Structure 1
Amino acid sequence: MVFCRTCVSADHASSSRLLRQPRVCSRRSICRAVGRQHQLTAVQAHLADCTLPSRRSCLQTLLPSLGLLLNSQVSLPAWAGLVDEDNADSVFQSAYPSVVSIVNSRRQGNADVEEGTGSGLVWDNHGHIVTNYHCIAQLAKDKFGTQETRVGLAGRADGRDGQDWPATIVGTDPNHDLAVLRIEAPAEALKPVQLGTSNDLKVGQSLYAIGFPYGLSRTLTAGVVSGLNRDIPNPAGTKTRGAIQTDAAISQGNSGGPLLDSAARVVGINTATFTRQGTGRSSGVNFAIPMDLVYQIVPQLMRGS
């Protein structure tokens, strides 16, 4: 397993346009899913995995099993997941205006060459932006004035984004992979995030991540708390303790974006994922810096510490 930071380089952004081959679903996987009384959405997901030549056989296996499932007595809580769709939309609509893009570029001759993208969040209406240190490390280390980082504010959820602003560094903390930037945007253009706590998170609790994977516009992924109090490497070469583990997809470009609870409150800052060595594919083991730790660090960084 390889530990990967999740800011994306320009090369990754272009390669993300390649499509993976669809998987062929097996009768065994469908029967197992139905036997466990998965929600209808899970059954639909299996159908989506089928290639066209195999869908007929999938349906032949699935329809009798569905009949058995629908004729059985299923209590209401078993279908409670059907309301998740509305909740996910509510979380996204509430939070996306507070999520910003981080775009790094380098001056080369008369042109600006994009070097990578990440995500961040609006901390307050004074222009403070919180992100991962590794997303802006090149700017922090720039000695020749050739690096620039711009912050893209929200426009509309359909990807038509608002204005972007040049950012300056207020403070950085490589030991916890956090950084605070500032932009000179008017207060009315800024929507600060709803801040939550990571102190009362429980394994199995629903979580949502919003960010800019592979340079795409704002993207929502969903999952659960997979584990708590994990130790993960940081850019300083030490360990950040107490990280949140989640299976909500955190891809390259998601770094610095918010991890949200079902009330659209930020409970963590997305920072890293494990990938299968040699494939670049996520293993579903992703990590976020817990919000209660962020609360301790960000005020110090805002003071320039």
Structure 2
Amino acid sequence: MALLQPLLRLLLLRPPPPPPQRTPHLPPPSASTRRVAAASAAALLLLAAASPPPRPARAEPGGGEDDVDETHVVRLFEGASPSVVFIKDLLVVAQPRGRDGRGAQPVYDEEGGATVEGTGSGFVWDSSGHIVTNYHVVAKLAGDGSESHRCKVFLEDSSGTSYSKEGRLIGYDTAHDLAVLKVDVDGDKLRPALIGTSRGLRVGQSCFAIGNPLGYEHTLTTGYPIGG
């Protein structure tokens, strides 16, 4: 009996267990509710059918900024290249005296044995045949008292055909490394260069140079101004 009393007190002090929860009873969906659900499902199916699946990203050929830049450079070269000339400073050689007794004839053609003393670039200044180049290209021609040097200028006509003419030195400025040649060519066969100004150039802008370095005709080089 003494052992039952503490056990009864412990049972009386414990809180009663919570009542069991009942599952709420939901009424069956009405006809209008079923119609709304069916319409919503049909709408989702229509949207899925109307929207094509996403395609993997790919690079489209042409039309990019790089293509636009390349096209601009190509057009610039094609437009300015006919105004650029290739200049050769040739050392004249003499053909041996002929059997007919006539004197030796000067030859300033490479095929005839003339030696190329130097090469350079220039551009057509006007339709009168004036060619602007650097003085160092024709320096030997300028200081040649024996007339053993000749200058050969290679040009392009409107069809892109290359031809050559002898260039006569008519003036030069050693301090600014400039020289002017004259070729006898019909004005309609010449393409004078469009002369601009360097006043608006800024460091970092793109610049393009067309020339004939090391004897390679009509090459294009790109760069940037690095100082004012």
Deviations 1:264-302 (A, max 9, x none): xxxxxxxxxxxxxxxxxxxxxxxxxxxxxxxxxxxxxxx
Aligned residues: 149
Shift of 1:109: 3.5
Q: Greater share of strand residues, 1 or 2? A: 1
Alpha carbons of structure 1 residues 131 and 189: separation in structure 2 relative to 1, 3 Å = same
Indicate the SS of the match to 1:200: coil
Determine what percentage of the aligned residue pairs are the same residue.
41
Asked whether the 8 Å contact 2:129–2:185 carries over to 1, the reply is: yes
Q: Corresponding residue for 2:162?
A: 162
Task: Tell me by how many angstroms 1:112 deviates.
Answer: 1.3
Q: Which residue of structure 2 aligns with residue 195 of structure 1?
A: 195
- Equivalent position of 1:116 in the other structure: 118
User: What's the counterpart of residue 142 of structure 1?
Assistant: 144
Q: Is the 8 A contact 2:157 2:189 kept in 1?
A: no
Helix, strand or coil at the partner of 2:87: strand
How far apart, in 1, do the equivalents of 2:203 and 2:134 lie? 24
Q: CA deviation at 1:83?
A: 2.5
1:186 is matched with which residue?
A: 186
Q: In angstroms, what is the RMSD of aligned CA positions?
A: 1.9
Normalising to structure 1: TM-score of the pair? 0.46
Following superposition, the deviation at residue 221 of structure 1 comes to: 1.3
CA deviations over 1:3-29 (Å, ceiling 9, x no partner): xxxxxxxxxxxxxxxxxxxxxxxxxxx
Deviation at 1:132, TM superposition (A): 0.4
Contact 1:165 1:183 in 2 (8 A): yes
**CA distance in 2 between partners of 1:156 and 1:116 (Å):** 27
Higher relative contact order (CA 8 A, sep 6+): 1
C-alpha separation in 2, matches of 1:173 and 1:126? 20
In structure 2, the residue corresponding to 1:83 is in which secondary structure?
helix
Letter in 2 for 1:154: E
The alignment status of 1:171 with 2:171, answered yes or no, reads yes
- The yes-or-no answer on 1:129 pairing with 2:145 is no
Unmatched 5+ stretches in structure 2: 1-56, 58-63, 96-112
Do the aligned residues in 1 keep the contact of 2:208 with 2:221 (CA within 8 Å)?
yes
1:136-162 Cα distance to aligned partner (Å, 9 max, x none): 0010000101100011102589xx752
Contact 1:123 1:193 in 2 (8 A): yes
Q: Does the 8 Å CA contact 1:130/1:178 hold for their aligned counterparts?
A: yes
2:82 paired residue number? 97
Alpha-carbon distance between aligned partners in 2 of 1:225 and 1:80, rounded to the nearest angstrom = 23
Q: Deviations over 1:77-98 (max 9, x none)?
A: xx84553211110110110010
